[in-house]
Chains A and B, each alone.
Chain A
Amino acid sequence: MALIGEDVANQIRERLSTMVAPVKIVHFTQELNLEYGRETRQALEELAALSDKLTLEVYDFLIDKEKVAEYGVDKVPATAILNGKDYGIRFYGMPAGYEFATLLDAILDVSKGESELGPESREKLRQVTKPLHLEVFVTPT
């Protein structure tokens, strides 16, 4: 059974039609992580099918050690959103409910290669000279 219904799929298709550059979704799953893992992967497969500019790569957290290291993933399910460049944007867990919209936002922003932040914010962010790691905890609503 599809996780993304036809109506929602059409809305997503429309949003994704504004994509600029192709975006790659890199997903790490784990055989044992069944509760959410399977659904997360299925949702991403259905999503990737909604735009020619979206591709999905799936790796196994326990087997594909090189990719795990390359993307700095330390838990699963993990999902990285990138264009040619990896901006350090990650989702851990299933992006359901409101977070699915956040995932679409991330895809569209990465596709553009720039945020829609105000000029003042962007200037301040350019001045950051040390590693800054943000972990935002959310729940599906």
Chain B
Amino acid sequence: MRLAHQFALENDLITADCIEATEFPDLVTEYRVQAVPKTVINQEQSVEGALPESYFLDTVLSAVDHSEGSQEP
């Protein structure tokens, strides 16, 4: 979890929520959270498990690149 918050510290465009799954069952259903930790990226993609720093970062960044153009707020 700390990694996501650290990412948020480094760039103002990045925000990071730590969500206690048992208190938000609706979100758990919506995002199909079956195991924790699970990281949902821009409400769209996700990564499961506690990953090492560089691998987690690359996975998150590639998810953002991948979704480029497919969603605009």
Query: Is residue A63 contacting chain B, with contact meaning CB distance below 8 A?
Result: no
Report chain A residues within 8 Å CB of B24: 75, 92-93
Mark interface residues in B6-33 (1 if CB within 8 Å of A CB, else 0).
1111111111111111111001100101
Q: Is A134 a contact of B9 with CB atoms below 8 Å? A: no
Mark interface residues in A101-141 (1 if CB within 8 Å of B CB, else 0).
01001100110011111101110111011111111111110
Q: Contact size class for A?
A: 35 or more
Report chain B residues within 8 Å CB of A135: 16-17, 19, 27, 31, 39-40, 43
The docked-state distance in angstroms from the alpha carbon of A117 to that of B14 is 15
Query: Is residue B70 contacting chain A, with contact meaning CB distance below 8 A?
Result: no
Query: Is residue A99 contacting chain B, with contact meaning CB distance below 8 A?
Result: yes
Q: Which A residues lie at the B interface, using CB under 8 A?
A: 35-36, 72, 75, 77, 87-96, 99, 102, 105-106, 109-110, 113-118, 120-122, 124-126, 128-140
Q: Which B residues lie at the A interface, using CB under 8 A?
A: 1-24, 27-28, 31, 33, 36-43, 53-54, 57-58, 60-61, 64, 68, 73
